[in-house]
Amino acid sequence: MIDLTGRSLLSLRDFTKEEILYLLDLSDRLKKEKKEGIYKKRLENKNVALIFEKSSTRTRCSFVVACFDEGAHPEYLNRGDIQLGHKETVEDTARVLGRMFDAIEFRGFSQKHCATLAKHSGVPVINGLTDEEHPIQVLADLMTIRERFGTLGGLKLVFVGDGRNNVANALMIGAAKVGLDFVIASPSERFPDRELVEECTNYAKENNSTIRLDDDAGRAVAGADVVYTDVWVSMGEEGKEHERATLLRPYQVNRELMSCAKETAVFLHCLPAVRGYEVTEEVFESAASLVFDEAENRLHTAKAVLVALLGKGNL
Ligand code: CP
Ligand code: NVA
């Protein structure tokens, strides 16, 4: 039996395929319960700190609603509210929060800070996006793909655009862990770090799947089941808009690029989207676009993660 009690979720690289599938199964179950109006309050009397150094709609709202649905109290702490890393070390903030809260969600810049919070707080820490990774987004993405296709293994997922951003990194890890064939379509300047690709290639091999990098978007998307993109300029990269728009223009997800994918292919985007840049209005609004199912699934997966890490996943 899988038991994730007390674990942190800093990266999906720390989770086995079975553990990831367990979280997806739990997400499905919690989604069904909510649709049926069943609220089991599995997190009653729990307090969850939500640290946000960067802005957020989906992550913040999904954690707040997940907490309330399960009877927990969420406390939102933004950059101006606390002294994290300035005037107080991350270690000390972690030790204080760990004395008061049962879990911590962290959205910020540094993956190291996220790990430091986990090490020193003594409570589960959930990565709600760093410069390097966005693992809980990927849980919602995998949930959405499985809902549509009924399976994950054997499908081809292509991430098009900025191939070395947090979402691309996390998606590559998640895809490799569950056995999706994964392709990054981006200019070689924006290919992911070689060590990460090697690590993911090893995970993929264990699942008879593949990881590939391609600087030709049309060739990469050929035969895809899922075409995924994200913004060309991530939070913290302000000032790079012009450079990225020039570099990534050939990687826009538009009708022509979607026509290279399978007829049954779907379009995903973690959101927020900048229409007219990484994706056209036409594709974003098309029948193939599952972006709002994907956004909704952020709630069910955030809830599953909280319930599982706080030890109530089997109730
Ligand atoms: N996809 C995602 O994480 O959205 P937010 O930045 O709005 O949280
Ligand atoms: N890559 C984007 C994801 C937003 C959810 C960013 O970091 O801004």
Provide the pairing of β-strand 181-185 with 266-269: unpaired
Find the ligand nearest to 109 CA. 2
> Average model confidence (pLDDT) for the chain?
97
Is the shortest distance between the CB of 229 and ligand 2 below 6 Å?
A: no
What's residue 314's pLDDT? 66
Is the shortest distance between the CB of 271 and ligand 1 below 6 Å?
A: yes
Is the shortest distance between the CB of 231 and ligand 2 below 6 Å?
A: yes
Per-residue pLDDT of 189-245, as tens digits, reads 999 999 999 999 999 999 999 999 999 999 999 999 999 999 999 999 999 999 999
Averaged pLDDT, 143-155: 97
Name residue, tokens 């049954």. Answer: 264
Please give the DSSP secondary-structure letter assigned to residue 131.
Answer: S
Q: How far is the CA of 54 from the centre of ligand 2 (A)?
A: 10
Among 67, 69, 137, 225, the active-site one is 137
> How many Å apart are CA 209 and CA 115, to the nearest integer?
29
Per-residue pLDDT of 280-313, as tens digits, reads 999 999 999 999 999 999 999 999 999 999 987 7
Position with higher pLDDT, 313 vs 263: 263
Which two tokens mark 120?
């020193």
Position with higher pLDDT, 84 vs 96: 96
What's residue 11's pLDDT? 98
What's residue 84's pLDDT? 86
pLDDT-derived band at 37 (thresholds 50, 70, 90) equals very high
Is the shortest distance between the CB of 165 and ligand 2 below 6 Å?
A: yes
Of the candidates 5, 10, 15, the one whose C-alpha atom is nearest the C-alpha of residue 174 is 15
Which two tokens mark 95?
């030790």
Which two tokens mark 159?
């991430």
User: Is this structure's pTM higher than 0.85?
Assistant: yes
Averaged pLDDT, 68-84: 94
Q: How far is the CA of 235 from the centre of ligand 1 (A)?
A: 11
Does the pLDDT of residue 315 top 70, yes or no?
no
What's residue 140's pLDDT? 99
Is residue 107 annotated as part of the catalytic site, yes or no? yes
